[in-house]
Amino acid sequence: MTTLVNETIERLKTNVKGHLVLPNDPSYDEVREIWNAMIDRRPAVIVQCAEADDVRYAIAFARENGLEISIRGAGHNIAGNAVCDNGLMIDLSTMRNVRIDAHKRRAYVEPGATLADFDSSAQVHGLATPVGINSTTGIAGLTLGGGFGWLTRKYGLTIDNLVSAEAIAADGNKIRTSENENPDLFWAIRGGGGNFAIVTEFEFALHPVGPEILAGLIVFPFSQAKQVLTQYRQFAESAPEELNVWVVLRKAPPLPFLPENVHGKEVVVLPVFYVGDIVEGEKLIEPLRSFGDAYGEHIGVQPYIEWQQAFDPLLTRGARNYWKSHNFTELHDGVLDAIVEFASKLPSPQCEIFIGFIAGASNRVSADATAYYHRDAKFVLNVHGRWDDAADDEMGIAWTRGFFQASAPYASAGAYVNFLTAEEGDRVAAAYGSNYDRLVQIKKRYDPENIFHLNQNIKP
């Protein structure tokens, strides 16, 4: 295979406008590296695409030479499917252009763009759409799997704001897809992952947001975890959709508003976000302060962009990450007890358990309207195992799996594909419920040979 690649590599170089990176190039190790340090694979060739036609040439080259294909956006996916061994990696990370049409409230976004790229461009015009909570995340992977964040309660999932997409199919053809053009493909890419085509441009609807919002953190002692969680559950039942409050249980980072003796201790954190009238928002968040005796808080008016980057220091690239996740329609006492139990024995200072509150607009979309099926989910609970040393893998993975099993009896059906690790292929069908059979048929149409299989795979 390597000999064949070497014999034909010059032809590929002349066709693409981007860059080819080979194992003997000085930049090779840097280019193949992705966010999750547990993934260490070595592609035979990396095509850093500059435009959509580069994607076509890369697919054709891989197929002609029998090379497996992996597709990288920003390289943030937990499963590490962006990188393959001995195959061809289509690297979209240099295609990061974001174009905003403020009059139409539309964003046109290339697949290598990060959330930071998207947010900063849209916020120039006081606009945004629901995306994730870590600004280094790629817009492509986030969108194709569903996408949720602080604005989801008000404006739905990321895919609920996708208007159209330009893509390259497995046969190399360019396809435009929307509700009116190739609607079956448009239905499938809204939650079906990278199974069907490689998206080269996303078109999103935008909403007036900010540029300043009300947001911040309240930090409670871990000894008060059960009472905070119980009151949070009750508070969430009546919170307006402009208000979003999550829960994070972890060891306290050295936040400047916390006493030094709290740093490194287990804590319960309420990240608070409100989009709307600031005075009204301050009234709405006041009850949160009575959940316990807080160590401290830092809440105030700040730029939306800054809040979107607030958690970046806790999610830098280069650590070893192993996640497990469940959906919940309600938070039973049993899952709250499991959260407290496992948060009391975090295997590293970087590990955490978080509850993402997504109830609202996304629940009003029917389960068969997009590939993303579990529209009844009101909370997404993620156990985030994270550490630096490979010697800690066994301990960290065991803790993560232990919590996943302990919380499973209280979870609702399905899974969020963006949080599935590489070995969770058995959960893919469950993630799509009764939509799965339709996805299989669309996969048969657009990728019958399963060329795009390094993903949470839907087999044709």
The string of pLDDT tens digits covering residues 309-359 is 999 999 999 999 999 999 999 999 999 999 999 999 999 999 999 999 999
pLDDT of residue 10: 86
Contact between residue 414 and residue 349 where contact means Cβ atoms under 8 Å apart: no
How is residue 401 written in tokens?
């799996």
The backbone torsions φ and ψ at residue 118, rounded to the nearest 5 degrees and listed phi first, read -65, -55
How is residue 165 written in tokens?
């997409």
Contact between residue 458 and residue 192 where contact means Cβ atoms under 8 Å apart: yes
Contact between residue 387 and residue 38 where contact means Cβ atoms under 8 Å apart: no
From its phi and psi, is residue 423 left (phi > 0), alpha (psi between -120 and 50) or beta?
A: alpha
Residues of the chain with CATH 3.30.43.10: 2-91
pLDDT of residue 11: 86
Please state the separation of Cα 351 from the chain's center in Å: 18
Q: Which amino acid is at 8?
A: T
The DSSP symbol for 19 reads E
Residues of the chain with CATH 3.30.465.10: 98-209
DSSP lists the bridge partners of residue 351 as none
- 98-209 maps to CATH 3.40.1080.10: no
Within 10 angstroms of residue 236's Cβ, the number of other Cβ atoms is 20
Contact between residue 197 and residue 206 where contact means Cβ atoms under 8 Å apart: no
**Percent above pLDDT 70 for the chain:** 98
Residues of the chain with CATH 3.40.462.20: 212-419
* Cβ contacts of 182 within 8 Å, gap of 6 or more: 175, 176
pLDDT of residue 126: 98
Summarize pLDDT for 138-178 with one digit per residue, the tens: 999 999 999 999 999 999 999 999 999 999 999 999 999 99
Task: Find where tokens 């954190």 sit.
Answer: 269
> What are the start-end ranges of the E strands in 62-197?
69-72, 88-91, 98-101, 106-109, 127-128, 162-168, 174-178
Summarize pLDDT for 366-402 with one digit per residue, the tens: 999 999 999 999 999 999 999 999 999 999 999 999 9
Judge residue 293's burial from the number of C-beta atoms within 10 Å of its C-beta, 0-12 exposed, 13-18 middle, 19 or more buried. exposed
How is residue 356 written in tokens?
């993402």
In 219-313, which residue ranges form alpha helices assigned H by DSSP? 225-238, 278-285, 304-308
Write out the CATH class of domain 212-419. Answer: alpha beta
- 2-91 maps to CATH 3.30.43.10: yes
